[in-house]
């Protein structure tokens, strides 16, 4: 299975979160192809909302930065894992930055899905999504539910499904069984 992991840790060289993500990646690489992107160490810019990726250069962002390699990895994956410590109750700005930029992978045209307007697919296949978070000291269940809801909505827009939400300290060998389930059933 092809997995892309987007690590949104803003301090990857000093936080234990990134070390835990890297250990997780090592384990995943034993039976999967894994691309790990540590976003804080990449040249990534915010989406400007110019719509060039829809009208001028369909499917290609006008911003010349490292995002292009992420786009290619994401769309060619079976699973994309968003990973981030929570900051003020939300994933990091680095993760949000690339989430916004993924709009390049969709058409500007709209279709109705479950009574809601959503972008049409640009590609035939989209990856499932996973989410790994690190709680803050005051994180509660409502905070986690809000973040999960955001990624559930992203999954709908991405013609996909959020297949798991885990806290970084809860990532265990069991998760590798989940990966096998994702591999054996393309759309859980």
Phi and psi of 54, rounded to 5°?
Answer: -100, -40
179, pLDDT greater than 70: no
Banded model confidence at residue 188, pLDDT cuts 50, 70, 90: very low
Residue 187: per-residue pLDDT: 45
130 close to 79: Cβ distance less than 8 angstroms: yes
Q: Which residue has the tokens 């994956």?
A: 77
The structure's pTM equals 0.91
Residues 6+ apart with CB under 8 A from 81: 3, 4, 5, 6, 129, 130, 131, 132
Pairwise CA distance, residues 33 & 15, whole Å: 25
- Residue-averaged pLDDT of the chain: 91
Extract the tokens encoding 78: 């079976």
SS3 36: strand
162, pLDDT greater than 60: yes
SS3 50: coil
Banded model confidence at residue 170, pLDDT cuts 50, 70, 90: confident
- Domain containing 81 equals 2-184
Pairwise CA distance, residues 171 & 188, whole Å: 19
Task: Cite the DSSP H helix spans in 14-159.
Answer: 16-28, 67-75, 93-101, 141-157
147 close to 167: Cβ distance less than 8 angstroms: no
User: How many domains, in total, are found in the chain?
Assistant: 1
Element (H, E) at 176: helix 174-184
CATH number for 141: 3.40.50.360
């Amino acid at each position: 299975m092809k997995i892309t992991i987007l690590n949104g840790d803003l301090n990857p060289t000093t936080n234990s979160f990134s070390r835990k993500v890297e250990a997780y990646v090592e384990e995943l690489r034993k039976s999967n192809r894994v691309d790990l992107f540590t976003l804080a160490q990449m040249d990534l810019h915010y989406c400007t909302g110019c719509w060039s990726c829809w009208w001028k250069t369909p499917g290609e962002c006008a911003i010349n930065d490292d995002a292009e390699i992420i786009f290619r990895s994401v769309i060619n994956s079976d699973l994309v894992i968003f990973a981030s410590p929570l900051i003020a109750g939300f994933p990091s700005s680095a993760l949000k930055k690339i989430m916004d930029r993924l709009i390049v992978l969709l058409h500007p045209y709209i279709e109705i899905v479950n009574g809601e307007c959503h972008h049409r697919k640009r590609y035939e296949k989209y990856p499932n999504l996973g989410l790994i978070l690190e709680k803050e000291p005051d994180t509660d269940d409502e905070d986690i539910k809000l973040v999960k809801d955001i990624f559930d909505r992203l999954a709908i827009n991405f013609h996909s499904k959020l297949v798991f939400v885990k806290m970084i300290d809860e990532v265990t060998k069991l998760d590798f069984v989940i990966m096998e389930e994702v591999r054996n059933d393309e759309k859980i």
